[in-house]
Amino acid sequence: MFACLHVTRRCNMGCPYCYAGIGGQKDMTLDVAIRIVDLLKSINVLAVLLLGGEPTLWKPLMKFNAYCEKVGMMTSITTNASMFGDADWFESYKKAPCTMVGVSLKAPDEIYFRNKISALVNFSQIKTGLCNIYKLSRDAVSNLLYGAGMNRDEVCFTAKFAYDLGARDLRLSFPTPVVNSDGNISAVDKTPIKELVNDVGYIYDRLYPLFGLRPNMLKIGHRLPRLCSWPKEFIRTLVTRGHFDNACLTCKRESIAFDISGNVLPCPQMTSCVIAKIDNDFNDGPSLLRHLNSGYVKDVYRRLARYPYKRCETCEWNSYCNGGCPICWTKSGQSVNCDGSPLENFLCSLDKCGSTNIQEPQPFGLIAFR
Measured between alpha carbons, how far is residue 94 from residues 59, 98, 124, 126, 139 in Å?
Answer: 15, 9, 21, 17, 16
Contact 273, 346 (CB under 8 A): yes
Q: What is the pLDDT of residue 34?
A: 98
Determine if the peptide bond prior to 212 is cis (ω within 30°): no
What pLDDT is stored for residue 221 in this prediction? 76
CA distance 136 to 101: 10
DSSP secondary structure of 126-148: HHHHHHHHHHH-TTPEEEEETTS
Pairing of strands 74-79, 47-51: parallel
Q: ∠ at Cα 261 (257, 266), nearest 5°? A: 25
What pLDDT does 358 receive? 61
Task: Measure the CA–CA gap between 70 and 40, rounded to whole angstroms.
Answer: 14
* Amino acid 270: pLDDT: 85
Between CA 329 and CA 169 the distance in angstroms is 28
Residue 336, pLDDT score: 52
pLDDT at 342: 82
> Which CATH number is associated with domain 2-288?
3.20.20.70
Sequential pLDDT tens for the chain (370 residues): 789 999 998 988 877 767 665 445 689 999 999 999 999 999 999 999 999 889 999 999 999 999 999 999 999 999 999 999 999 999 999 999 999 999 999 999 999 888 878 778 899 999 999 999 999 988 899 999 887 678 899 999 999 999 999 999 999 987 777 776 666 666 656 677 788 889 989 999 999 999 988 877 898 875 655 677 788 898 889 888 988 876 576 777 778 899 999 999 988 888 888 999 999 999 999 999 999 999 999 888 888 877 777 788 788 887 777 777 777 777 544 545 565 788 888 888 777 776 666 666 666 654 333 3
